Chains A and B, each alone.
Chain A
Amino acid sequence: MALPKLRQDATSARLSAMVLPAGANWAMEARRAAVGRVATSGLPQRRDEYWRYTDPASLVSVEAGAAAVLQDNETPVFDGFDRLRIVFVDGVFDAGASDDLRLTGIEIERLPEAMAKDIHWAKELYGVLEARGQKPVERPLAALNTAFATDGVVIRVTAKVSKPVNLVYLHRDNSSDVALHHLLRLEAGAEMTLLENGPAAARFSTVLETEIGDGARLHHIRVQGRDHERRAVTHCFARLGTQSHFKSFTLTLNGKLTRNECIVDLTGNDAVAHVAGAALGDGPDFLHDDTVFITHDALACESRQVFKKVLRNGATGVFQGKILVKPGAQKTDGYQISQSLLLDDDSQFLAKPELEIYADDVVCSHGSTSGAIDDTALFYLRSRGVPVQAATDLLVLAFLAEALDEIADMRIADDLRGRLEGWLARRRR
């Protein structure tokens, strides 16, 4: 079926402006198949069911809008923690700034290297989870990434890794337009922590496809760049085996547009997936969108979605979260909460929680709220001598606590709490 003209034009314009990176046959096939998916569905438009609240135009356009690089002297996130750094500058791997990629229990390669090899396990994962994730909801920007991503990491984890792997995304060029694609396979019983931070580019697209084997554990902590004008669309596709764990937390401060999609398939019994996020937005140019799709396709799995947004001065927050319980996925335990704290009347929060359940022995709960600072709590704090700004900040942090509690590493959680306090203090007027 032919696409409507506007969509067809926008899609053709973007596709014709791009060049497929070279690679081995299997890689080129995967990329061409992805181009096919984009061409079939077309790139997203505002009228699409899952783009109603977030205008995708600036993510679809041929030219990426410019974004000034934020100049500040704040210590980079995760500095001070022992970790293996893999640095990308405007989407290009920087060997000099990165650590030695050799570490016990983990094999790390760059995506272009893996894709140049005629035989590589990456073939079984690259674009595979992304393609699966196109149903029932199309995610053409993820397919576009699969087709044209120029760099990324390909990681296989075989044991418990002694320290976190940190993907650092530096942004130096005001007009950079970057697509990175990462593959992460955890073999049975393996365990690792993946850290991501930085703005990466003026316009940044990233896809992470992760296969979490039986009994394996992946902790994912991400702090998105604070550049005010940057735009980002991220997709995380995770497939979980029996008794595996996946915990993902994202902190977002600033940015003009952020769309974080997380698509999780619980395919092995007793698997656990927690996806959480905290976002702070200030001003009418801030739009933050969490779009989550969790599918329960096995027995006795647990899923939690915890998303909190603090919005002020006309900022917009979006949450679209779904729990799909397939027939036979008995003893499912699903939980979803999305909340916004609106610090003024100009800001808005748009939430679309969805549950679709085809099994009869499940526990699923969901809630979504929007509210202001609790005046009673504020007065209580002030009556104890806490100045109004500090009291407000304390209540903002309290509001975010449930999401921050999803960070497994206490030290990192404390560090991020401290940074949030600093952000709040800087934003006082």
Chain B
Amino acid sequence: MNGTPSIVQNQREEMLEIKGLQVKLEAEDKAILKGVDLSIGAGEVHAIMGPNGSGKSTLSYVLAGREGYVVTGGNATLEGQDLLELEPEARAAAGLFLAFQYPVEIPGVGNMTFLRTAVNAQRKTRGEEELSAAAFLKLVREQAKALKIDADMLKRPVNVGFSGGEKKRNEILQMAMLEPRMCILDETDSGLDVDAMKLVADGVNALRSAGRSFLVITHYQRLLDHIAPDFVHIMADGRIIKTGGPELALEVEQNGYADILAEVA
């Protein structure tokens, strides 16, 4: 049963709880998620791997509140709060962050303006005071430096003319600035060379803490060499079909998904 507050010490605190989540596309009557169960505790890093079309990205979009999907069953809560009834901006303010697989280019909106608007919008929603221009600038410079994001990238329009690696680093910068509790990384490693992946992974690792959880969606094991997961889940045909430790990722890397799919079938 959920909703029962617990005061027992050392008990695992829940962050993201997904139960029997079923989702179909709005445009066509096609089920994508067919009952996803996933429980992520505070401070944990989970990875979801799976073949193309298994529903990994859909899961991330549905959690973040993208339009075009219909939830037909199940639920998802963030720290006990029903996520699915919230608007996307309220989910963000509640502590959810999705690093996009394809970060969106927004011509005409400066990266800095975008960051500041987002940071202050969330603070306002949470009833906190907005950051002053000076405080914001100091913070963004520190975080940008760690991610090797130069002043020019901060001035340019959001993601416009950024390389693949720059876009992904920009996602991590946003994550660092927004300080979410639950971070979902949707194929953050796609389109990155080894150095860029290292930089992104370092950025993520720097944010790991007891109160912050990660859900890393990836095709490949190599990102998990840099961001060590506590749990690895295999997703196929809209369900999580197997859960294990980091060794599961290595198994996929060596043998592909065929064995696991055959095993559960």
The chain A residues found within 8 Å of chain B, CB to CB, are: 375-377, 379-388, 390-391, 394-395, 397-402
Contacts and interface: CB of A to CB of B under 8 A. Distances in A.
Contacts of A398: 106-109, 157
Given A397-B108, A398-B106, A401-B108, A383 B117 contact: no
Contacts of A375: 67
Contacts of A397: 108-109
Contacts of A383: 64-66, 88-89, 91-92, 97-98, 100
Interface centre among B103, B104, B105 (most CB of A within 10 A): B104
Interface stretch (B8-16, B118-126, B218-226): B118-126
Contacts of A400: 108
Contacts of B174: 384
B65 to A, nearest CB: 7
A379 B89 contact: no
A385 B92 contact: yes
B117 A380 contact: no
A156 B87 CA distance: 59
A394 B117 contact: yes
A386 B109 contact: no
Given A379-B88, A382-B87, A385-B125, A395 B64 contact: no
Pairs A-B, 3 closest by C-beta atoms:
A398-B108, A385-B92, A401-B108
Contacts of A387: 87, 89, 121, 125
Contacts of A377: 104-106
Nearest to A376: B104
B93 interface: yes
B215 interface: no
A381 to B, nearest CB: 7
A385 B108 contact: no
A2 B100 CA distance: 68
A393 to B, nearest CB: 10
B190 to A, nearest CB: 17
Given A376-B104, A383-B97, 15 more contacts: A375-B67, A379-B65, A379-B66, A380-B100, A380-B104, A380-B106, A381-B118, A382-B88, A387-B121, A388-B87, A388-B89, A391-B89, A394-B113, A397-B109, A400-B108
Given A375-B67, A390-B117, A382 B109 contact: no
Contacts of B121: 384-387, 390
Contacts of A386: 89, 117-118, 121
A230 to B, nearest CB: 29
Interface string B184-208: 0000000000000000000000000
Interface in B57-75: 64-67
A385 B88 CA distance: 7
B178 A384 contact: yes
Contacts of A381: 106, 114, 117-118
Nearest to B107: A398
Contacts of A376: 104
Interface in B70-87: 87
B64 to A, nearest CB: 5
Contacts of A395: 106, 108-109
Contacts of A390: 117, 121
Interface in B119-172: 119, 121-122, 125, 157
Nearest to B123: A385
Contacts of A394: 109, 113-114, 117
B11 to A, nearest CB: 30
A385 B97 CA distance: 9
